[in-house]
Amino acid sequence: MEIFKFFYFINLLSTFILSSSSSLAIDPYSQALLSLKSELIDNDNSLHDWVVPSGGNLAKSGSSYACSWSGIKCNKDSNVTSIDLSMKKLGGVLSGKQLSVFTEVIDFNLSNNLFSGKLPPEIFNLTNLKSLDIDTNNFSGQFPKGISKLKSLVVFDAWENNFSGQLPAEFSELENLKILNLYGNSFSGSIPSEYGSFRSLESLLLAANSLTGSIPPELGNLKTVTSMEIGSNSYQGFIPPQLGNMSQLQNLEIADANLSGSIPKELFSLTNLQILFLSINQLTGSIPSEFSKIKLLTFLDLSDNLLSGSIPESFSELKSLIILSLGSNDMSGIVPEGIAELPSLEFLLISHNRFSGSLPKSLGKNSKLKSVDVSVNNFNGSIPPSICQATQLSYFSVSYNMQLGGNIPSQIWSMPQLQNFSAYSCGILGNLPSFESCKSISTIRLGRNNLSGTIPKSVSKCQALMIIELSDNNLTGQIPEELAYIPILEIVDLSNNNFNGLIPEKFGSSSSLKLLNVSFNNISGSIPEELADIPILESVDLSNNNLNGLIPEKFGSSSSSIPKGKSFKLMDTSAFVGNSELCGVPLRPCIKSVGILGSTNTWKLTHILLLSVGLLIILMVLGFGILHFKKGFESRWKMISFVGLPQFTPNDVLTSFNVVAAEHTEVTKAVLPTGITVLVKKIEWETRSIKLVSEFIMRLGNAARHKNLIRLLGFCYNQQLVYLLYDYLPNGNLAEKIGMEWDWSGKFRTIVGIARGLCFLHHECYPAIPHGDLNSTNVVFDEDMEPHLAEFGFKHVIELSKGSSPTTTKQETEYNESMEEELGSDVYNFGKMILEILTGRRLTSAAANIHSKSHETLLREVYNDNEVTSASSMEEIKLVLEVAMLCTRSRSSDRPSMEDALKLLSVKNF
């Protein structure tokens, strides 16, 4: 037994000695870094080489294992001088307890990781630091005190974290600091006036925080600063004229900052200024002609303000100007010819103003233009042919210049870089130019013009074409099958023209087509069944033509066999209406020919005789029934049923719910005899209004049929009350979903569904039907979470039921007079609902909320709120936000129609 004790003691002693010798071999730097590693979350094993070799010895006395580890640099004395852990996907909360040994470190980089929690103040004990980079992490809380101890610090970068509280004034004590980057945090309060006392600062980046108060005039004392970006905050007051004293300033960005007042003339003393961004504010007054003094100016963005007046003639002296962005103001007058002759100009963006006169005749001739957007103005004349000389032009939009007119330049499709050509609603005349030299064009928007002639067959040369939109013109001839030869074509909208002939069967061979709209033409023949074989086809509108025959089952039958994996959406009635000779689901059944006297057709004579006898019996029963009910219950109540509801009697409906209770409530539920659950809505009316109201309700029930509208199934009425019967949808309304967890795909589907329903009411009902009360409580969901608009037209029903005039003429006149206002209100409310869906909260003032923040800030907030990371989802959010901004413009005339809004959402290429 004693000998076992002896060996146990020897083993224990050996383990202790080996452990001690191993720990003695690990230098303080390696020990500290291994301790730091133990705190980190390293799912990618980025620090796999941070290990001490088993039984290894130091290479020489005083050396460090850490000097060979990734991200670590040492000097000749084996002292760690640089720790670079950037872009390693590391996470965790840092304690800072290991940092005291790194007294020689001059560069500490933790950027582009996933660190969270508070920044440890121990980091400020590294008093030799010259560069401290913690950008793109999630450090939070108030910024710790003590950074003034870093007397040698030259660069501090905390871009895109989540620091909050006041901006630390002690930054100004760092005499050697050249770069202070606090962009994209959550700092609040005012910019400290002490920030005007930096001695060496060259770059001050405070944008995209939650800063308030006025911009301190002391910032004008920063004589060494070359770049100051302090926008995307919410200041009060004006641009301090003292900023004109920043003699070395090259870049000034105060966009999206809630600034008001005029542009101070003192800024024109900044002769070194190259970039000036003052967009998305509330700046007023005209643009001073003194801008011409800033000869080096290359980027000028004054868009989204309240500026008025004209473009100064002196702008033609800005020979270095690359970007001129003045869009979304209240500017007017003509565009000086000298603007088009600026030798360096690449971007001319002046949309959404009131500019008039002709476009500069030399536009494109002497410039390097890449993008021109002059849409939504009052230009007249025509598109200058010189635009075709802009060999680098990729985007050109003159849309919504109603008086522009003229012809499309004949060489427009030959431009080597042109991708997007938009001249929607411009009054353009003439024929479409030949597409023989078509090279790069991907989007053509020429809807709502006066184009005539045919689509040239040479359109097949446009192999990059994705969108062709030629709706609402006077185009004739047949739809060229050459369109089907374009390999990536996604959108074809030829609606509201005079096309004739057949729908080309070749479309069925397309593998890219998503939308095909040929409604309101003179197209005849049958519907090619091949259309349903297009693999990603989402929407087809063939309505209001001269089509005949049977609708292919794949289009109309919900029970038909659609191949798996297809995103093809079942087409409802709206896609086929207005073709009197067309039949089959979802329209009326086709009446098959009757075979008599040995015919080989479906029915025999015996079937006809049996059917006739059956019909005679039914007619007799109905006759007795009518006589009976005229004396009874129906002398007081009447029932009208629309498609979707069996022919119930008033008694069937009224006994399905408590009439007495219903008379005291606006809405109730009822289960009809067949088991159908309906929503019953009560209206009180006066006898003199019965005819008007019932006619309008009949219109709502028969014409307003769309998959994104709740169905009006029928109505039951007497001389005092009307009960409207709607589909009962079980999954609640949009107001209940706002603020709840909800994936982005569901949100986007809801937004597009609302747009489709509203577009149908506005543009496919004649006359249009304004919703009248569009809000989140009036959007309800079915079993598949498809949105349906409820209570559309109900406001007008109420107005009619209380009307004092018994004449139809007066009521219709009053209705037409308020039509445009109601339609514009619908568009605004649609934009407001988009914002509610995006932000997850109800809004009281949509325009104030959206236009008080920068586009970038809103995008960042919405990306975060919706937790999206994929590029496609981000692109959809960006698009939806743009549509919301358009729809919530304060002037109704500046808002798009619902048809245009839906096109923007459908095309995904705003």
Render pLDDT for 166-188 as a digit per residue (tens, 0 to 9): 999 999 999 999 999 999 999 99
Q: Maximum CA pair distance of the chain?
A: 121
**How is residue 588 written in tokens?**
């009326």
Q: What is the pLDDT of residue 665?
A: 57
Residues 267, 239 contacting (CB under 8 angstroms): yes
Measured distance CA(759)–CA(899) in Å, rounded:
5
Q: Which residues of the chain have pLDDT under 50?
A: 1-24, 59-60, 556-570, 593-606, 624-635, 660-661, 804-811, 845-847, 908-910
Q: What is the pLDDT of residue 808?
A: 46
Q: What is the pLDDT of residue 853?
A: 59
DSSP line for 553-586: HHHH-TTS-PPTT--PPPP-GGGTTT-TEEESTT
Q: Could you check whether the bond before residue 767 is cis, i.e. omega within 30 degrees of 0?
A: yes
Q: Any idea what DSSP says for residue 446?
A: -
Q: What is the pLDDT of residue 58?
A: 53
Q: Cα dihedral sign for 625, 630, 636, 639?
A: positive
Per-residue pLDDT reduced to its tens digit, 636-674: 788 877 765 666 677 777 777 655 445 555 677 777 776
Beta partners for residue 132, in sequence order: 108, 156
Q: What is the pLDDT of residue 551?
A: 85
Amino acid (1-letter code) at residue 500: N
**How is residue 191 written in tokens?**
């910019």
Q: What is the pLDDT of residue 643?
A: 63
Q: What is the pLDDT of residue 841?
A: 72
Question: Phi first, then psi: what are they for 371, rounded to 5°?
Answer: -145, 130
Measured distance CA(192)–CA(219) in Å, rounded:
10
Amino acid (1-letter code) at residue 864: N
Burial tier of 759 (Cβ tally within 10 Å: 0-12, 13-18, 19+): buried
Question: How many CB atoms are located within 10 Å of the residue 874 CB?
Answer: 16
- Quick one: three-class SS letters along 187-217? EEECCCHHHHHCCCCCEEECCCCEECCCCCH
Alpha helices in 771-868, H assignment, sequence order: 794-801, 808-839, 846-851, 855-866
Write down the residue that tokens 């991907």 correspond to. Answer: 442
Where do the domains of the chain lie, and which CATH numbers do they carry? Answer: 636-728 (3.30.200.20), 733-909 (1.10.510.10)
Measured distance CA(319)–CA(195) in Å, rounded:
34
Residues 313, 290 contacting (CB under 8 angstroms): no
Q: What is the pLDDT of residue 40?
A: 94
- Does an H or E element contain 734, and which? helix 734-737
Residues 846, 835 contacting (CB under 8 angstroms): yes
b/e 824-853 (16+ beta carbons within 10 angstroms → b): bbbbbbbbbbbbbbbbbeebeebbebbbbb
Q: Which of 810, 607, 606, 795 has the alpha carbon at shortest distance from 683? A: 795
Beta partners for residue 308, in sequence order: 286
